[in-house]
Amino acid sequence: MSRSENRSLSFWRRRSVGTLATALTILVLVGCDIPERPPLRPESLDELQARSGGNAVEGDGASVAEPSFADSANYLEPPSIIANQAWETWDAYYVGDQHVGYNHVVAKPVENDSSGKMSYLMDNLLLVNQGQARTVQRLQQTSTEDKNGRLIDFESSLQVGPVVTNYSGEVVEDAGDSGKEMRVRVKTRKGRNETSAFLAWDSTYRGLVAIEQSLRQKPLTKKGDIRFLKMLVPGNYKIGTAKLKCSGPASVPMQDGTMLPMTEISCEIQLDDGSNTYSTIWIDDEGAIRRTYSPGIKLVAYRTNKQSATDFVEPSNISVLLPIEGEIDRPLEAKRIAFEVTPVQQVKKTAEGEESEELIKMVPEPGQWVRKTKSNQFQLLVSRKQETNLKSFEGSDLKPSDADLSVNSYVDFRNGLVRRFASAAVASRSELSRREVALELTRTANSLIEVEPDKIGLMRASVVAQEGKASQTGRAILLMAMLRAKDIPARLAIGLRYQQGSPSRMVYHSWVLAFVDDQWIHLDVDDGDMGACDRIILTTSALDESSQNKVFVPFMDAVSRIRVRVVNAAY
Specify if 545 maps to a domain.
yes
User: What Å distances lie between residue 284 and 211, 255, 342, CA to CA?
Assistant: 14, 15, 50
Q: Do 360 and 480 sit in the same domain of this protein?
A: yes
Residue 521 burial (CB < 10 Å; 0-12/13-18/19+)?
A: buried
Instruction: Quote the pLDDT of residue 287.
Output: 94
Domain end: 283, 310, 337, which one? 310
Specify if 316 maps to a domain.
no
Q: Do 304 and 393 sit in the same domain of this protein?
A: no
Range of the domain at 129: 3-31+43-310
What are the per-10-residue average pLDDT scores of the chain (571 residues)? 40 41 47 32 38 41 71 87 87 94 96 94 93 92 95 96 94 78 94 90 94 94 95 93 96 91 96 90 96 93 95 78 95 96 71 62 95 89 87 93 96 97 90 95 97 87 96 96 98 97 93 97 97 97 87 91 95 93
Instruction: Quote the pLDDT of residue 337.
Output: 98
Q: CA-CA distance, 251 to 258, in Å (whole number)?
A: 10
- How many residues comprise the chain? 571
Q: Do 270 and 405 sit in the same domain of this protein?
A: no
Q: Of the candidates 245, 205, 266, which has an alpha carbon nearest to the alpha carbon of residue 80?
A: 205
Specify if 36 maps to a domain.
no
Q: Do 252 and 362 sit in the same domain of this protein?
A: no
Q: Of the candidates 153, 156, 127, 178, which has an alpha carbon nearest to the alpha carbon of residue 20?
A: 127
Q: Do 281 and 388 sit in the same domain of this protein?
A: no
Specify if 302 maps to a domain.
yes
Q: Which residues pair with 496 in a beta bridge?
A: 508, 536
What CATH number corresponds to the domain at position 561?
3.10.620.30
Record the pTM. 0.82
Domain end: 310, 335, 358, which one? 310
Q: Do 90 and 147 sit in the same domain of this protein?
A: yes
Instruction: Quote the pLDDT of residue 46.
Output: 41
Specify if 37 maps to a domain.
no
Number of domains in the chain: 2
Instruction: Quote the pLDDT of residue 111.
Output: 93
Q: Do 369 and 268 sit in the same domain of this protein?
A: no
